[in-house]
Structure 1
Amino acid sequence: MVRPKISVIIPAFNEENAVGLVVKAIPKEWVDTIIVVNNASTDETRYAAEKEGALVIDQPIKGYGNACLKGIGYLKKMEVTPDIVVFLDADFSDYPEELPLLVKPIIEDNVDMVIGSRALGNRDSGSMTFPQVFGNWLATRLLKLFYNYRFTDLGPFRAIKYSALLDLQMADKTYGWTVEMQVKAAKQKLKCTEVPVNYKNRIGTSKVSGTVKGAVSAGYKILYTIFKYL
């Protein structure tokens, strides 16, 4: 069986101390392209990623969704586009070596999208703040209530068929990116599943959960997105 082509997109904003570790830990035998989207960083994020062999592209406009959309735009221009796209954060809170766990259901069971669930895996103490845990709990229950799709997490570590990703016509430019993907997947009746992933304390301070403003803004955007597509 020929392994499908897999690309990894890593949005990165000022992650010079972590992004290189993320790239280094990705099992290279499983992937064809590692794209780090340098999202208006003012530190050495680009250098740290390139040092470990990643392809780095720039997105000068801040926003998690903006960075992901930039990565997708690059994939569209590739001579040979991937079969599967994996999204992974640059803060080294996930375990990149668990990537095969996320892509195997797509390869073996023809699943369209796989969410790496921190709720089902093991989390280090303090790796997720209370607002994060509660926000995930609330959001996934609203997804079940309004869209009849069961998720346990909005985890950023996820894999999706490239064709399905394009069909979703992703648009969110900031904090609503992950939940938008899950809402649209539910509306389009994609075949989705979750796999347990482990989670550790990130390197550095989160730009979202690490501040009150960031946590509130992210929570509002997540709820707004869930109701927007009803």
Structure 2
Amino acid sequence: MTVDVILPCLDEEAALGWVLGRMPDGYRPIVVDNGSTDRTAQVARDLGAEVVSEPRRGFGAACHAGLLAARADLVCFMDADASLDPRRLPEVAAPVAEGRAGLVLGARRPRAAGAWPWHARLGNAVLARELRRRTGAELSDLGPMRAARRVPLVDLGLADRRFGYPLEMVLRAAAAGWRIAEVEVGYLPRVGRSKVTGTVRGTMRAISDMRRVMAAHRP
């Protein structure tokens, strides 16, 4: 079975070699260039990845462009900054492929000092607690590595195009009656500076986007 792997990218040329080089057999990378000023797109092409250009800035915009470009029945998402090991993708995808879950999130577990700054970890813990309350799913992390069936995911009608996209995915999936599960995955220090968790300002921007999504999807 072929699985499409959506990789939203903004200036990730330094990390792509490691990420794409560890992609498992049968997992087809789709790199979504979200306005990079470095050689992200060219490096991805040189390494055999399909490249999609999404000029509209926003994490959700890049993720959704990749989802619409995907063709496989099963799709995965993951960050392209080398903080997540693509070799864990089969473990995350397995419950979906086997029909045991509709959406699976990779729950991050730090494997090195500095992999997950305190401000980002605190914000994530608060968010996970609220998700458990709202959805009933035993989630400990709004994991960026995830898997789902492509067509049902498109049919959820995800509308956010900023940092609220992964949260909206969970809320809409829960509202649609999907079984949501998580699988533990290692979390490594990213290559380069994070656009979100690397700064308190970036984390607060993501929290603001997620609060907006939470308010729009009240139970």
Check whether the contact 1:30–1:100 (CA below 8 A) recurs between aligned residues: no
Instruction: State the shift of 1:43 in Å.
Output: 0.4
Instruction: Indicate whether 1:179 and 2:167 are aligned.
Output: yes
Instruction: Indicate whether 1:46 and 2:41 are aligned.
Output: yes
Instruction: State the shift of 1:163 in Å.
Output: 2.3
Check whether the contact 2:119–2:200 (CA below 8 A) recurs between aligned residues: no
Note the alpha carbon deviations across 1:69-102, whole angstroms, 9 max, x for none.
1112223xxxxx3111100111010011111101
> TM-score, with normalisation over the residues of structure 1?
0.90
Residue 38 of structure 2 aligns with an amino acid whose one-letter code is D
Whole-angstrom distance in 1 between the partners of 2:159 and 2:112:
32
Q: Secondary structure at the match of 1:18?
A: helix
Residue 55 of structure 1 aligns with an amino acid whose one-letter code is E
Note the alpha carbon deviations across 1:160-200, whole angstroms, 9 max, x for none.
11122112111111111111111111111101111110010
Q: Secondary structure at the match of 1:152?
A: coil
Structure 1 equivalent of residue 143 of structure 2: 155
Unpaired runs of at least 5, structure 2: none
Check whether the contact 1:46–1:56 (CA below 8 A) recurs between aligned residues: yes
Check whether the contact 1:143–1:226 (CA below 8 A) recurs between aligned residues: no
Whole-angstrom distance in 1 between the partners of 2:30 and 2:75:
11
Whole-angstrom distance in 2 between the partners of 1:53 and 1:190:
34
Structure 2 equivalent of residue 23 of structure 1: 20
Residue 8 of structure 2 aligns with an amino acid whose one-letter code is P
Instruction: State the shift of 1:146 in Å.
Output: 2.6
Note the alpha carbon deviations across 1:40-78, whole angstroms, 9 max, x for none.
000010121112110111111211101011112223xxx
Note the alpha carbon deviations across 1:112-168, whole angstroms, 9 max, x for none.
1110001xx343211111121111111111112233332111111101111221121
Whole-angstrom distance in 1 between the partners of 2:102 and 2:193:
33
Structure 1 equivalent of residue 51 of structure 2: 56
> TM-score, with normalisation over the residues of structure 2?
0.94
Q: Secondary structure at the match of 2:98?
A: helix
Check whether the contact 2:106–2:145 (CA below 8 A) recurs between aligned residues: yes
Whole-angstrom distance in 2 between the partners of 1:223 and 1:171:
15
Of 148-157 and 85-94, deviating more is 148-157
Q: Secondary structure at the match of 1:65?
A: helix
Structure 2 equivalent of residue 221 of structure 1: 209
Unpaired runs of at least 5, structure 1: 76-80
* Identical-pair percentage: 36
Instruction: Indicate whether 1:212 and 2:207 are aligned.
Output: no
* Residue among 125, 129, 138 paired with 1:141: 129
Instruction: State the shift of 1:34 in Å.
Output: 1.5
Structure 2 equivalent of residue 111 of structure 1: 101
Instruction: State the shift of 1:223 in Å.
Output: 2.3
Instruction: Indicate whether 1:8 and 2:1 are aligned.
Output: no
Whole-angstrom distance in 2 between the partners of 1:96 and 1:117:
14
The total of aligned residue pairs comes to 218
RMSD (Å) for aligned C-alpha atoms: 1.4
